[in-house]
A and B are shown apart, each in its own frame.
Chain A
Amino acid sequence: MTLLYSEVEQELRSSVRGLLADRCPPAAVLKRVESEPYDLDLWKTLAGEIGVAGLLIPEELGGAGASASEAAVVLEELGRAVAPVPFLTSSVLATRALLPTRDALLGDLAEGRRTAALAVSFAASPYTPERGSSVSVDGDGRLSGTVTGVAGAEVADVLLVPVGGDLYAVEGASVEVVPSLDLTRPVATVTFAKTRARRVGACDLAAVLRFGAGLLASEQLGVAEWCLDTTLAYVKERHQFARPIGSFQALKHRLADLWLDVVRARAAARNAVADASSVSVAVAQSWNAGVAVRAAEEALQLHGGIGMTWEHPVHLYLKRAKATEIALGTPGDHREALASLVDVPGPGAG
Chain B
Amino acid sequence: MNEAEIKERVAAFLGAHDPGGDRLEFLRARFDAGLAWVWFPEGLGGLGVSRELQQVVERELADTPQLTGGKQGIGLGMAAPTILAFGTEEQKRRFLRPLWTGEEIWCQLFSEPGAGSDLATLATRAVRDGDEWVVDGQKVWTSGAHHSRWAILVARTDPDVPKHRGMTYFVCDMSAPGVEVRPLRQITGEAEFNEVFLTGVRLSDDLRLGAVGDGWRVAQTTLMNERVAIGGAPTRRGGGVLATVLSTWREQPELRTHDLHQRLLLLWVEAEVTRLSGARLREQLAAGQPGPEGSGMKLSFARLNQALSGLDVELRRDLGYDDWAFRRSEDVDFYGRGPGYRYLRAKGNSIEGGTSEILRNIISERVLGLPSEPRVDKDVPWKDLPR
* Interface residue ranges, A against B (CB under 8 Å): 2-4, 232, 235-236, 243-244, 246-249, 251-253, 255-257, 259-260, 263-268, 270-271, 283, 286-287, 335-336, 338-339, 342-350
Q: Which residues of A contact B269 (CB under 8 A)?
A: 283, 286-287, 335, 338
A89 to B372, CA, bound (A): 44
Whose C-beta in chain A lies nearest to the C-beta of B356? A253
When distances are taken between beta carbons in the complex, the residues of chain B under 8 Å from A345 are 250, 253, 256
Q: Which of B280, B357, B363 contacts A4 (CB 8 A)?
A: B280
* Known contacts A4-B287, A283-B269, A342-B238; is-contact A347 B371 (Cβ 8 Å): no
Chain B residue numbers with a CB within 8 Å of A344 are 246, 249-250, 261, 264-265, 268
> Which residues in window 265-287 of B have CB below 8 A to A?
265-266, 268-270, 272-274, 276-277, 279-280, 283-284, 287
- Sorted from nearest, which 8 A-B pairs have the closest CB atoms? A252-B364, A267-B276, A256-B360, A247-B371, A3-B280, A256-B363, A264-B273, A347-B256
Minimal Cβ-Cβ distance residue in B for A271: B276
Q: Give Cα A2–Cα B269 distance, bound, in whole angstroms.
A: 20
A267 near B273 (CB under 8 angstroms)? yes
Given contacts A260-B299, A283-B276, A346-B258, 11 further A-B contacts (CB under 8 A): A235-B370, A247-B373, A256-B367, A260-B296, A260-B363, A264-B277, A268-B272, A283-B272, A342-B268, A345-B253, A346-B261
CA distance A47 to B268 in the complex (A): 39
Q: How far is the CB of B121 from chain A (nearest CB, A)?
A: 18
Known: A265-B273, A342-B238. A347 touches B257 (CB 8 A): yes
Closest to A285 in B: B269
- Tell me whether A349 and B253 are in contact (CB under 8 A): yes
Interface 0/1 of B357-382, CB less than 8 Å to A: 10111011101111111100000000
Contacts of B367 in A (CB 8 A): 256, 259
CA distance A347 to B264 in the complex (A): 12
- CB-CB under 8 A from B364, the residues of chain A are 246, 252-253, 255-256, 259
Q: Complex: how many Å from CA A249 to CA B358?
A: 10
Q: Chain B 286-303 against A: per-residue CB contact (8 Å), 1 yes, 0 no?
A: 010100010010011000
A263 to B231, CA, bound (A): 15
A292 CB to closest chain B CB, in angstroms? 14
Known contacts A255-B368, A270-B280: A264-B287 contact under CB 8 Å? no
Query: Contact at A339–B261, with CB atoms within 8 Å?
Result: yes
Say yes or no: A263-B277 contact (C-beta < 8 A), given A257-B360, A344-B261. yes
Contacts of A244 in B (CB 8 A): 370-371
Determine whether the beta carbon of B370 is less than 8 Å from that of A252. yes
Contact B268 A252 (CB under 8 A): no
A347 touches B258 (CB 8 A): yes
- Cβ contact within 8 Å between B368 and A264: no
Of chain B, the residue at the smallest CB distance from A335 is B265
Which A residue's beta carbon lies closest to that of B294? A263
Check A335/B280 contact, CB under 8 A, given A252-B370, A253-B360, A257-B360. Answer: no
Residue of A nearest to B275 (CB): A267
- In whole angstroms, how far apart are the Cα atoms of A251 and B269 in the complex? 26
Contact check: which of B238, B250, B266, B280 meets A267 at CB < 8 Å? B280
20 A-B pairs, CB-CB below 8 angstroms?
A4-B287, A4-B289, A236-B369, A252-B365, A253-B361, A253-B364, A255-B368, A256-B296, A257-B360, A259-B367, A260-B296, A263-B293, A266-B277, A267-B279, A335-B266, A338-B268, A339-B265, A342-B237, A345-B253, A346-B256
Chain B residues in the interface with A (C-beta under 8 A): 237-238, 246, 249-250, 253, 256-258, 261-262, 264-266, 268-270, 272-274, 276-277, 279-280, 283-284, 287, 289, 293, 296, 299-300, 357, 359-361, 363-365, 367-374
With a cutoff of 8 Å between Cβ atoms, the chain B residues found around residue A264 in the complex are: 270, 273-274, 276-277, 300
Asked whether, in the complex, the Cβ of B371 is within 8 Å of the Cβ of A236, the reply is: yes
Closest-by-CB residue of A relative to B260 is A347
Chain A residue, CB-CB nearest to B264: A344
Contact of B360 among A232, A252, A263, A350 (CB under 8 A): A252
Closest Cβ–Cβ distance, residue A236 to chain B (whole Å): 7
Q: Residues of A contacting B360 with CB < 8 Å?
A: 252-253, 256-257
A249:B371 contact, CB within 8 angstroms: no
CA distance A270 to B374 in the complex (A): 39
- Min distance, Cβ A250 to any Cβ of chain B, angstroms: 11
**How distant is the Cα of A146 from the Cα of B359 in the complex, in angstroms?**
53
Q: Are A260 and B300 in contact (CB under 8 A)?
A: yes
Q: How far is the CA of A232 from the CA of B369 in the complex (A)?
A: 8
Task: State A299–B260 Cα separation when bound (angstroms).
Answer: 31
Contact across chains for B253 and A350 when beta carbons are under 8 A apart: yes
Report the nearest A residue to B238, measured CB to CB. Answer: A342
Bound complex: CA A265 to CA B264 (Å):
19
The answer to whether A347 and B279 touch across the interface, beta carbons within 8 angstroms, is no
Hey, which chain A residues are within 8 Å of B238, CB to CB?
342
**Measured CA separation A349–B258 after assembly (Å):** 11
Closest Cβ of chain B to A180, distance in Å, is 28
CB atoms of A268 and B276 under 8 A apart? yes
A350 to B367, CA, bound (A): 47
- Decide yes or no: A246 and B370 within 8 Å by CB, A252-B360, A255-B364, A342-B238 being known contacts: yes
Residues of A within 8 A of B256 (CB): 345-349
- With A and B bound together, what is the CA distance between A253 and B359 in angstroms? 9
Least distance between B112 CB and chain A CB atoms (Å) = 23
**Bound Cα distance from A336 to B261, whole angstroms:** 10
Contact between chains at B368 and A256 (CB < 8 Å) = yes
Q: Are A4 and B276 in contact (CB under 8 A)?
A: no
